[in-house]
């Protein structure tokens, strides 16, 4: 049970159990990343069927720029969340850790 992970008196979870929990949590993010990548591939394929290589270059460059902006935002937010969660955990404020992680 996932609730046992937060009970200090229970035994630590096995690696298999942790992998199962992480996969359950990360699954939607993995699916989102794959589908996002496939949408870019579809755009490049359709642009390639148009006249001229300029269309493919424009779609590829725009996709790269948007990807860099989105990933930069995500990395920045993740770094801030990691810092705030670590501070809350160090202050033994587990409720605030839960708020930051959700």
Q: Is the pLDDT of residue 3 over 80?
A: no
pLDDT bin (cut points 50, 70, 90) of residue 1 is low
- Chain centroid to CA 19: how far? 16
Q: Give mean pLDDT, residues 7-13.
A: 72
pLDDT number for residue 2: 59
Widest Cα–Cα separation across the chain:
67
The answer to whether 40 touches 63, Cβ cutoff 8 Å, is yes
Q: Is the pLDDT of residue 11 over 80?
A: no
- The DSSP 8-state label assigned to residue 11 in this structure reads P
pLDDT number for residue 54: 86
If one counts every other C-beta atom within 10 angstroms of the C-beta of residue 47, the result is 19
Tens-place pLDDT, residues 12-41: 778 888 788 778 878 888 888 888 888 888
- Chain centroid to CA 80: how far? 14
Tens-place pLDDT, residues 43-98: 888 888 887 788 888 888 888 888 889 888 888 888 888 888 898 889 888 888 88
The answer to whether 61 touches 40, Cβ cutoff 8 Å, is no
């Amino acid at each position: 049970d996932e609730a046992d992970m937060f009970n200090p008196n229970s035994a630590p979870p096995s690696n298999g159990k942790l992998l199962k929990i992480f996969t359950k949590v990360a699954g939607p993010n993995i699916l989102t990343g794959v589908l996002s990548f496939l949408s870019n591939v579809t755009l490049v394929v359709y642009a390639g069927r148009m006249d001229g290589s300029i269309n493919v270059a424009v779609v590829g460059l725009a996709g790269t720029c948007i990807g860099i902006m989105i990933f930069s935002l995500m990395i920045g937010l993740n770094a801030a969340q990691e810092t705030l969660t670590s501070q809350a955990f160090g202050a033994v404020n587990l409720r605030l850790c839960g708020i930051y992680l959700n």
